[in-house]
Amino acid sequence: MSALKPKTALPDDAPHVLVVDDDRRLRDLLARYLGDNGYRVTTAANAAEAEAKLEHMVFDLIVLDVMMPGESGFDFARRLRRTSHVPILMLTARTDTADRVQGLEIGADDYLPKPFEPRELLLRIGNILKRSNGNGQNDAKVAPEAVRFGAFLFRLDRGELRRGDEIVRITDREREILTVLASRAGEQVPREDLAGQGGAAQGAAANERTVDVQINRLRRKIEQDPGNPMFLQTVRGIGYRLLIDG
């Protein structure tokens, strides 16, 4: 199932939400409601379908039902947390405190019992995205216009890498990856956030291998010793981070 679109066009940077619930009526309701409130929405009926969507698309948040046929929401969230930091809001008809604690221990960002008011879901999603994008501040983190690391200056607004007065040639994919890393300088950036959409049809594993290849090429251009990088560092089990000056 492709992403469901609201009646009015959404901006390209509209947050993308994956709704995972075996109740088709609820999926459709949430897709329409969230779409009308500025979100791009993709739906999945179970964990297996959600996993397939995650291989081909990047999401800003997952709304995940706990009680589903096959793999439960708890088990899927636990497995997902091994490789992804995408925010998760869990839905359940079970209101036991133990269930709520279990969800949060797994790594869910919030927990909403059914039945719920759609407006409350909207507010909780907004709060999660604020925390994940802006570290809990009222405004989203603003990416810098430029970052400097060693002898290099990267202009995010132009996608331009310079060493002194010399422009360093980089490919479009290298530019995309460097832009993401520079906009989140110093942070751990998961491989999936660097994968983009170019090779989605190859699957998540192939996409991650492609990212690794691009990172190695970038290192040969910016690192004095690519085998022992100072700026473009590996975060084992997660992805990469760019260390900048200042």
The CATH code of the domain that includes 192 is 1.10.10.10
Q: Are residues 112 and 164 in the same domain?
A: no
Q: Are residues 81 and 155 in the same domain?
A: no
Q: Are residues 158 and 231 in the same domain?
A: yes
Q: Distance between CA atoms of 117 and 138, rounded to whole angstroms?
A: 24
- Residue 112, domain CATH: 3.40.50.2300
Q: Are residues 182 and 235 in the same domain?
A: yes
Residue that is last in its domain, among 134, 161, 178 = 134
Domain with 121, as residue range(s), is: 16-134
Q: Are residues 130 and 159 in the same domain?
A: no
Instruction: Give a yes or no: residue 62 inside a domain.
Output: yes
Instruction: Give a yes or no: residue 227 inside a domain.
Output: yes
Looking at the predicted structure, is the pLDDT value of residue 246 above 80? Answer: no
Instruction: Give a yes or no: residue 205 inside a domain.
Output: yes
Q: Are residues 88 and 128 in the same domain?
A: yes
For the chain, where are the E strands, in sequence order?
16-20, 40-44, 61-65, 88-92, 110-113, 146-149, 152-155, 160-163, 166-167, 189-190, 232-235, 239-242
Looking at the predicted structure, is the pLDDT value of residue 138 above 60? Answer: no
Comparing C-alpha atoms, which of 178, 198, 154 is closest to residue 240?
178
pLDDT digits (tens, 9 = 90+) for 150-199: 999 999 888 899 998 899 999 988 999 999 999 888 888 898 889 864 44
For 99-231, where are the E strands, in sequence order?
110-113, 146-149, 152-155, 160-163, 166-167, 189-190
Q: Are residues 108 and 161 in the same domain?
A: no
When pLDDT is cut at 50, 70 and 90, the band that residue 7 belongs to is low
Total structural domains in the chain? 2
pLDDT at 231: 92
Question: 76 with 64: CB under 8 angstroms?
Answer: yes
When pLDDT is cut at 50, 70 and 90, the band that residue 130 belongs to is confident
Residue that is last in its domain, among 134, 154, 180 = 134
Q: Are residues 129 and 188 in the same domain?
A: no
Q: Are residues 130 and 23 in the same domain?
A: yes
pLDDT at 84: 83
